[in-house]
Structure 1
Amino acid sequence: MACNITKVPLLRTITNRSFASAANVKPIGGVCDYEVNNSTVNGVLVTSAENNSPITRVSIIYRAGSRQECNDNQGVAHVLRICAGMTTKSASQFAITRNIQQVGASLHCTLDRETISYTLEGTRSAVEQVLPFLSSVATEQEFRPWEIADNIGRLRLELATRPPQLRTVDLLHKAAYRTALGNSLFIAKYNLEKVGPETLQHFVNCNLTADKATVVGLGIDAKELSYFVEKVKFRESSGTAINPSPYKGGEVRCDKGGDLAYVAIVGEGAGHNNMKEAAACAVLQKIFGTGSSAPYSVDHGLLRSSIKVTDSYAISGLNANYADTGLMGAMFVAPYGVAGQIAENVVDILKNGRVTDEWVNKGKNQLKVAVLLASENGKSVVRKLGQTGALTGSGISPIQYVNLVDSVTTQDVNNVLQKLGSKLSISSFGNLTCVPYLADLN
């Protein structure tokens, strides 16, 4: 039976809302070896890179994802993403959409657990014409009750169409962190009509401020980007701190029946505050396996090689890096009858596994290829520059990251693997008849 679990990006689960999109045109990526310039303008980090692409992308990123939610406003970040592009202080929803469409550009909003990003992309001349609308959408939000009400149906649709693997990852964060990073990327059904204009405006005023902002430009001159940032009127700092989110470990189960069980098993990984260890986690993910690298081929990762199950199943390494912590482990989907055996094998690898130089060299090569291929996709580059800039204070180029991967040793990877087994987190979704509890696996 076919399964696409290994094709779903699990590094950082991201949701997005796009609008005012032009016809789909395959962008030319430009060169992948370019210099990344980092500077500060009016207290805002500005990261730019000229990759000689005809497509320019400019993104305003705030360190204000679902991690910043509290009990009183659960789901506000999800609603904020849905509200991107609605009427602002200086432009109506119609004016924003019409003007961006007129020049053939597009504007979209993406959200993860730590950041929310507003990204404008198009040809160089098009982006230059509509940059003021990006500024308006990202810094001048005004929330009209009737516009929010019109999007309740969109929220219900997104909740109803979440794939099982995404729900499993969401539950995994709840098990591992409880609050802050444990907050879901999606609003709960019982809160659908409780997040109103006042809640949204308070969240924006506290979190979408200059001290939490980063501006990233790809395919644009550093001076031009700095000049744009000088004219943007960001909100002044509110003094709101980033919510702490220590790793705690635990288990969350959601029994939904059916024929399949979706299970994620992880330990504490590394955050962006330790880039060397985070790179070792990324190498270990490739060693575990992330699906076949060629059509019709077989995944020869460590997990697949170590699990002796005759039934069809899919398994992938899972790695998520946040500012100060991370998750590292594996996720699989299998017929419920063999899910228990696979879970036991995965836990044994996390607790007792060791990797050799051969495995590490293979993982490093696969990771470097993946990074360089991703650098040909402008959207991927802007997202990565924005995340590293917002969470570490400095964006790095793909070549710099490849050099970091080269410095990872076998001992670094084994140190990460040894750390994973000390305290596990497990989430499971689907038919859990044969899925063991965490206490039984320990």
Structure 2
Amino acid sequence: MACNITKLPLFRSISSRSFASAANPKPIGGVCDYEVENSTVNGVLVTSAENNSPITRVSIVYRAGSRQESSDNQGVSHVLRLCAGLTTKSASQFMITRNIQQVGASLHCTLDRETISYTLEGTRKAVEQVLPFLSTVATEHTFRPWEVADIVGRLRLELATRPPQFRTVDLLHKAAYRTGLGNSLFIAKYNIGKIGPETLQHFVNCNLTADKATVVGLGVDHKELTYIVEKIKFPELAGQPINPSPYKGGEIRCDKGGDLAYVAIAGEGAGHNNMKEAAACAVLQKIFGTGSSVPYALDHGMLRSSIKVTDSFAISGLNANYADTGLVGAMFVAPSNVAGQITENVVDILKNGKVTDEWVSKGKNQLKAAVLLASENGKSVVRKLGQTGALTGSGISPNQYINLVESVSTQDVNNVLQKLGRNLSISSFGNLTCVPYLADLK
């Protein structure tokens, strides 16, 4: 989830050492074969890659998402995301907006269940000019009651426009983890207007601290980035410990009527603490199928090929990796009258299926292609570097991940499939007349 804001700069000026002295840009999108450098400055992880792109991206990532919410402040991370770019200790909202827009840069805040990221992007010269504003937005939070009250309308809009697919995956996490990772990325309707400046400031003080921070740079020299990080004053207090979130499994149903049923089925996968198994989970997702890479062609993934239903339906593999756990499975949308049959078929595959060498080879090739294509997208690279850096303590390059995928064997994938089938989680949304209950599935 991202909140795009057009904001400005505020920093001590760093004119003598800047991105302008970096290597001359080459291709428009930069090169895909680049090395990732990692170092630690004042307890903050700094990870960067120089891809010789004319566009520079710098992101400050904190390991603090909705997982860190409690029953007393559920939804605070959603509100915090929308507060990005409001008045800080050193700059007003107008000042931030005007200065960043003036140089043609952009600043946005992205939230997931374990991280919150403040990312500045623009030409190298533009980022150099407004980098101080990234620092103030990410480290100098101050919440004015009237500004926090102004975002209530935006909260209601985002709740009203959530697509059913997103709501189904959100419910899947609730069924699988209940608390922690089960917390929604969105505030509950009954909490709108109840998350005030004091609650926001307390969450920031407990979670947006130096020991939980990672600074990511793409299209920037690593030495220049470490020099800049030395000048940023991160809160030095120790952050709140990461809340444990063991996988439990279960079922949540949300009957809303209509013609379609949205169903997500998954079991426990792997976290970033086991990168080899996490790579096997990613391969399994590709084997299940993630849509055709050829326009207007049918998806011939393992799930689609195994389900014999005449009505039109869409199905895709699902994989989510967190610090210490993950989810692997599938999600589909279908007319309500055939949703029950598809659910039974998918559960049978997850519990009793096996993959062959041919399927694994195909899945690995598709995954490697997806990783390399994503490495051409700067936003995707920064997001991935920030996530792996914050959760594992070290960013990895696309080539390093490709080598990891190459090492995945058929047995590794079958082990993942066998593990996830032991305890499934199911969420469903829409017309659930024909969707069976988890207890009735064998």
TM-score of the superposed pair, with normalisation by structure 2: 0.95
Matches within 5 A, 1:117-196: 117-196=117-196
Whether the 8 Å contact between 2:270 and 2:326 is mirrored in structure 1 is yes
- For 1:403 and 1:54, locate their aligned partners in 2 and report how far apart those are by CA, in whole Å: 28
Structure 1 equivalent of residue 95 of structure 2? 95
Distance 1:374 1:239, change over 3 A: closer
Distance in structure 2 (CA, Å) of the matches to 1:32 and 1:406? 18
1:6 corresponds to: none
AA matched with 2:341: Q
Q: Trace 1:242-391 onto structure 2 (pairs within 5 A).
A: 242-391=242-391
Verify: 1:207 aligned to 2:193, yes or no.
Answer: no
Q: How much has 1:21 moved relative to structure 2?
A: 7.8
Could you tell me how far apart the structure 2 residues matched to 1:228 and 1:438 are? 53
Evaluate the alpha carbon distance shift between residue 312 and residue 21 of structure 1 in structure 2; reply closer, same or farther with a 3 A threshold: farther
Residue 107 of structure 1 corresponds to 107
Q: How many correspondences in the alignment?
A: 424
Separation in 2, partners of 1:321, 1:156:
29
**CA contact under 8 A between 1:253 and 1:429: conserved in structure 2?**
yes
Percent of paired sites with the same residue: 86
1:20 and 2:6 are equivalent in the alignment: yes
Q: CA RMSD in A?
A: 1.0
- Cα distance between partner residues in 1 of 2:289 and 2:140: 44
Amino acid of the structure 1 residue aligned with 2:423: K
CA distance in 2, matches of 1:164, 1:415: 31
Q: Report the equivalent of 1:3.
A: none
- Per-residue Cα deviation, 1:276-311 (whole angstroms, up to 9, x for no partner): 000000000000000011101110000000000000
Q: Which residue of 2 aligns with 1:223?
A: 223
SS in 2 for 1:272: coil
**What amino acid is aligned across from residue 68 of structure 2 in structure 1?**
Q
**What residue number does 1:35 align with?**
35
Offset, 1:20: 1.1
Contact 2:285–2:318 (CA under 8 A) maintained in structure 1: yes
Structure 1 position 28, deviation (Å) = 3.1
Q: Is the 8 A contact 2:208 2:239 kept in 1?
A: no
> Where does residue 24 of structure 2 map in the other structure?
none
Provide, for residues 37-75 of structure 1, a one-character-per-residue CA deviation record: whole Å limited to 9, x for no partner.
000000000001000000000000000000000000000
Contact 1:336–1:433, Cα closer than 8 Å, also in 2: yes
Q: Deviations over 1:208-231 (max 9, x none)?
A: 000000000000000110011000
Gaps of 5+ in 1: 1-14
The reply on whether 1:50 has 2:50 as its aligned counterpart is yes
Runs (4+) of structure 1 exceeding 3 A deviation are none
SS in 1 for 2:72: helix
Post-superposition shift, 1:249? 0.1
CA distance in 2, matches of 1:129, 1:255: 51
TM-superposed CA distance for 1:239, in Å, is 4.2
CA distance in 2 between partners of 1:406 and 1:383 (Å): 23
- Structure 2: distance between partners of 1:45 and 1:206: 18
The alpha carbon displacement at 1:170 in A equals 0.4
Write out per-residue CA displacement over residues 220-245 of structure 1, whole angstroms, 9 at most, x where no aligned residue: 00011001100000011334100000
Are the equivalent residues in 2 in contact too, given 1:249–1:424 (CA < 8 A)? yes
Match in the other structure for 2:19: none
Asked if residue 409 in structure 1 is aligned to residue 395 in structure 2, the reply is no
After superposition, give the CA deviation of every residue in 1:149-189 in whole Å (9 maximum; x if it has no partner): 11100000000000000000000000000000000000001
1:210, 1:237 within 8 Å by CA — same for their partners in 2? yes
Q: State the partner residue of 2:12.
A: none
Q: Counterparts of 2:89 and 2:302 in 1: how far apart (Å)? A: 54
Partner of 1:7: none
Code of the aligned partner of 2:2: N
Is 1:238 the equivalent of 2:238? yes
Contact 2:7 2:93 in 1 (8 A): no
Alignment of 1:50-89 (within 5 A): 50-89=50-89
- Aligned partner letter, 2:116: I
User: Is this contact kept in 1: 2:7–2:98, CA < 8 A?
Assistant: no
CA separation of 1:197 and 1:21: change in aligned 2, threshold 3 A? closer
Q: Residue 253 of structure 1 aligns to a residue in which SS? A: strand
Structure 2 counterpart of 1:274, one-letter code: N
Residue 29 of structure 1 deviates from its aligned partner by 2.1
- What is the CA-CA distance between 1:393 and the residue it aligns to? 0.3
Work out the CA distance in 2 between the residues paired with 1:21 and 1:354. 51
Instruction: Look up the equivalent residue of 2:184 and give its one-letter code.
Output: S
1:434 aligns with 2:434: yes
Whether the 8 Å CA contact 1:21–1:104 is kept in 2: the answer is no
Report if aligned partners of 2:7, 2:99 keep a CA contact under 8 Å in 1.
no
